[in-house]
Amino acid sequence: MMIHCSAPPGGCTSNASSMSSLCLPSLRCSPSFVLLPRSPSSSPKPRRRRRRLNLPIRSSLPPLFSDMDAAVTGLYPSHRCKTLHLVRHAQGIHNVEGEKNHDAYLSYDFFDAHLTPLGWQQVGNLRKHVRACGLSEKIDLVITSPLMRTMQTAVGVFGGEGYTDGIVAPPLMVANVGNSDHPSISSLNCPPFTAVELCREHLIENEDDVLWTPDVREKNEEVAARGMKFLNWLWTREEKEIAVVTHSGFLFHALSAFGDDCHPSVKSEMCKHFANCELRSVVIVDRGMTGSNASRTNYPGKIPDGLDLPSDVAKDKH
């Protein structure tokens, strides 16, 4: 099977040279105490006077609704949230050449750069991490930019084991993709994958067969706007835990719009540049009813039906 390339509204045509090499399937609490009423037949007993202890009961606790609490605490329905596991691709040959000469980042020869041997080592270490922490069992969907380095990273981290002839599932990646000398990777026991144009690197102005103009690319503001469009598109999907494998520039500009209402350290934690093969987990909240997914855990109660007027409401009514 070939990779399922999803192009949301406004997406562009993906790079065919990358697509032909990877075969991705598309897709504990403190106890509460209650005082039980005495039985009507029981006679009242004299009450014992209890000695008061002048203890500072709440000295170690913050005020219930201080300004600080209002600033740092947010409460949202869980079904209005998604967890995103953001990953920048591993080291590519363009990263190595770009350290020598920054112009290499604009070279057509490195536009669809593949991973270096060091990059594959980074992939292997991240793969071990996501399995050790249990993340690999939680991922519902893997979204990747449709470029070689991101797809190799996505498949290497979140894909199945090495592909052998005895495995009936199709391969996610064939052997030696991008002259990597890397064995094939199977699609067995892994989440679905999809390539999405909206999360790729800076888009070039025209993908038709025209002369290469490396200096004509998206402005940073346009990348940030595309990032918001991508995040909004995620709400059209039902998956709750999504891995997104993309590029440093896209992540930096897309995340820069967030965290202004947080402590500066929190914003930095979210928005600073990603290292190669870095994974950062964040939660996005649908506060505008963009998505329509119902909660899988909420329960309506009152089954069977009965009187259940809350005490504070009853007090107000009387």
Which residues participate in catalysis according to the annotation?
89, 201
H helix runs in the chain, sequence order: 16-19, 67-72, 93-100, 117-132, 148-158, 220-234, 248-255, 264-271, 311-317
Question: What tokens appear for 297 in the block?
Answer: 């855990």
For residue 64, the 8-state DSSP code is T
Please provide residue 264's backbone torsions phi and psi, each rounded to the nearest 5 degrees: -50, -35
The answer to whether 226 touches 200, Cβ cutoff 8 Å, is no
The Cα–Cα gap between 27 and 5 comes to 9
The answer to whether 91 touches 277, Cβ cutoff 8 Å, is yes
| Residue 171, strand partner residues | 186
Question: What tokens appear for 166 in the block?
Answer: 């005895």
Q: How many CA atoms lie within 13 Å of 5's alpha carbon, on the beta-carbon side?
A: 19
The answer to whether 148 touches 113, Cβ cutoff 8 Å, is yes
Whether the upstream peptide bond of residue 9 has omega within 30° of 0, thus cis, is no
The answer to whether 300 touches 85, Cβ cutoff 8 Å, is no
